[in-house]
Copies of this chain bind each other. A is one copy, B any other.
């Protein structure tokens, strides 16, 4: 029997394809190309616009904004703040991806400022989410040193503190709005071996949340399920991380709501 949550994943995907939402992605230099290709393959319309002079103006046109601090710098932070504010002012959802925010003082301060702008959704790996909730983590650089399981309590706490949906991604993802939670299985062990997968997923969360009428929690579950299903398919055919990267794009482009619904491994908690 298919749960309502799993049905919602398929319906969201088809609706997203039809609407092709304009998603403003402020992401890092490493991820820009791959994230744009992921969004295009999934049927969305990505736009990489970051300059302080236009980031806010553009956010008013977009259906959602995503902010990833991977290769942060002072002018980019200014653009991120402008876009997040404009998203709020225009009632548009925005997604925060706090890459390695614990690593330096510059990142910690930047993320504190961005959190104060009330992201709709926060997506990170276990170490990032644990550190954001004030817990001790084993993060080092951009890779997680902790399991998603260990981060679930932190995610619940952070979701309530920040009034946001929190997604912890890893072997089995965990998504919560502080009240409802779900786990998403699938994907592949190769995914952490391909750079920018997490950043691209943040963009895809933006594409799903841009598509009404799903709630931000449902949209996040839908995006993560979509990513995991495409990841499982790509892994079944590839010979390593190099071929995984493009097979993942092909798998996403071939996906539809029916297949997503049939293959999604989503468990409400």
Residues of A within 8 A of B (CB): 22, 28-34, 36-37, 40-41, 45-51, 53-54, 57-58, 61-62, 70-75, 100, 103-107, 140-143, 192-196, 238-243, 245-251, 253-254
Q: Return A266 CB to nearest CB of chain B, in Å.
A: 24
> A195 to B70, alpha carbons, bound, how many Å?
20
Q: A22-B141, A61-B103 are in contact. Are A71 and B50 (CB under 8 A)?
A: yes
Q: Return A49 CB to nearest CB of chain B, in Å.
A: 7
> A204 to B245, alpha carbons, bound, how many Å?
20
Q: Return A21 CB to nearest CB of chain B, in Å.
A: 10
> A239 to B22, alpha carbons, bound, how many Å?
25
Q: Is the CB of B242 within 8 A of A37?
A: yes
Q: Is the CB of A30 within 8 A of B53?
A: no
Q: In the complex, which residues of chain B have a beta carbon less than 8 angstroms from the beta carbon of A40?
A: 192-195, 241
Residue of B nearest to A196 (CB): B33
> A40 to B194, alpha carbons, bound, how many Å?
7
Residue of B nearest to A61 (CB): B103
Of the candidates A22, A192, A195, the one having the most CB atoms from chain B within 10 angstroms of its own CB is A195
Q: In the complex, which residues of chain B have a beta carbon less than 8 angstroms from the beta carbon of A22?
A: 140-141
Q: In the complex, which residues of chain B have a beta carbon less than 8 angstroms from the beta carbon of A45?
A: 140-143
Q: Is the CB of A57 within 8 A of B141?
A: no
23 A/B residue pairs, CB under 8 Å, sorted by A: A29-B33, A33-B33, A33-B196, A36-B195, A40-B193, A40-B194, A45-B141, A45-B142, A47-B141, A49-B104, A51-B72, A54-B103, A57-B105, A58-B104, A61-B141, A238-B250, A239-B250, A240-B254, A241-B249, A241-B250, A242-B247, A242-B249, A246-B246
Residue of B nearest to A37 (CB): B195
Q: In the complex, which residues of chain B have a beta carbon less than 8 angstroms from the beta carbon of A143?
A: 45
